[in-house]
Amino acid sequence: MSTITNVPYRLEFSVEVPGTPEQVWEAIATAKGMSAWFTPTEMEEREGGSLHFTMGPEMGSDGQVTGWDPPRRIVYEEDWAALMGKDPDALSPLTSEFLVEAQSGGTCVVRVTSSGFGTGADWESQWWDTLAPGWMPSFDNLRLYLARFPGQEATHLEASAIHPGDPDALWSTMRTALGLGDEGATVDVRGAAGTVERVGERRALVRLTAPVPGILNVIAWDLGDGKVMASVRAFLFSADAADYVRREEPAWQEWLQGLAVTA
């Protein structure tokens, strides 16, 4: 017997970003663009095209482009049930719509809506409660990408380590050890020069300038059950980026694993 998916969930927000509608469209509606500020993405760039977001080692989300109106509107659906390991009949697809509206002064507003239907289970509402705080900081990446690196292809650096402990204590340890000051501060993050662009709840966004320009996210995640994860993700824009990643990604991994986190 199928479960009735009649409980609606919805998330809506808008962000203002620099660039023309065409530049913004390239960033939000192409594999190259999405991979430069969100997560490694594969996309057939057309209505009906397939879509895959890489979320981590052996973890991803599959979907399909269901609306395509360049440079104004893209809609895609993801298999929410498969992503969460649930009964396919228990959840509708997760639908996300991006609308691009040109503004005066060389900016655009991107209006984002995500919606779906479930059964009203506790885990569903908890998942939707964490969707906005988990997803919206990526749009700071988008803003920075369009301001500094529009149209460029990203090379990714990613490392993480799980520890027992308290997430706030982990973040305090990471921020102090990396010398992450307030927004606007010039920093040296393990040999990489940059500027702190944004500080949020247990996370910071740094614009890297040398030796490789790019975007660095430093995050302390609360995994629950007394476990926390220290994570860094960088989007790098340089011909030298691949060599840099080969050298620095293992060093970041070792550094994250060596953090001493208090309970």
What is the CA 51 to chain-centroid distance, rounded? 16
Neighbours of 149 (CB within 10 A): 21
Alpha carbons 152 and 193: distance in angstroms, whole number: 20
Q: How far apart, in whole angstroms, are the C-alpha atoms of residue 202 and residue 228?
A: 11
What does DSSP assign to residue 2? P
Q: Per-residue pLDDT tens for 105-142?
A: 999 999 999 999 999 999 999 999 989 888 999 999 99
Q: 205, 217 in Cβ contact below 8 A?
A: yes
> Left if phi > 0, otherwise alpha if psi is -120 to 50, otherwise beta: which for 31?
alpha
In this prediction, residue 200 carries a pLDDT of 94
State the average pLDDT over residues 191-218: 97
Beta bridge partners of 220: 230
Structure tokens at 67: 């609306």
Residue 55 has a pLDDT of: 84
Distance from CA of residue 160 to its chain's centroid?
Answer: 15
Options 3.40.190.290, 3.30.1330.10, 3.30.530.20, 3.30.70.890; which CATH number does 155-257 get? 3.30.530.20
Neighbouring-strand partners of residue 110: 15, 100
pLDDT score for 3: 60
Cβ-in-10-Å burial (0-12, 13-18, 19+) of 250 comes to exposed
Query: Tokens representing 178?
Result: 């990396």
Mean pLDDT computed over every residue of the chain? 94
Per-residue pLDDT reduced to its tens digit, 4-63 = 778 999 999 999 999 999 999 999 999 999 999 999 999 999 999 999 999 877 788 999
Cβ distance 28 to 100 under 8 Å?
yes
Evaluate if residue 261 carries a pLDDT over 80. Answer: no
CA separation for the pair 198, 78 (Å, rounded) = 29
Does pTM surpass 0.85? Answer: yes
- Report the percent of the chain where pLDDT is more than 90: 86
Fold of 7-148: Alpha-D-Glucose-1,6-Bisphosphate; Chain A, domain 4 (3.30.530)
- Supply 133's token pair: 């705080």
Q: Domain ranges in the chain?
A: 7-148, 155-257
Instruction: Please indicate whether the domains covering 7-148 and 155-257 agree at the CATH topology level.
Output: yes
Distance CA 13, CA 115 (A): 12
Task: For residue 130, give both structure tokens.
Answer: 């964490």
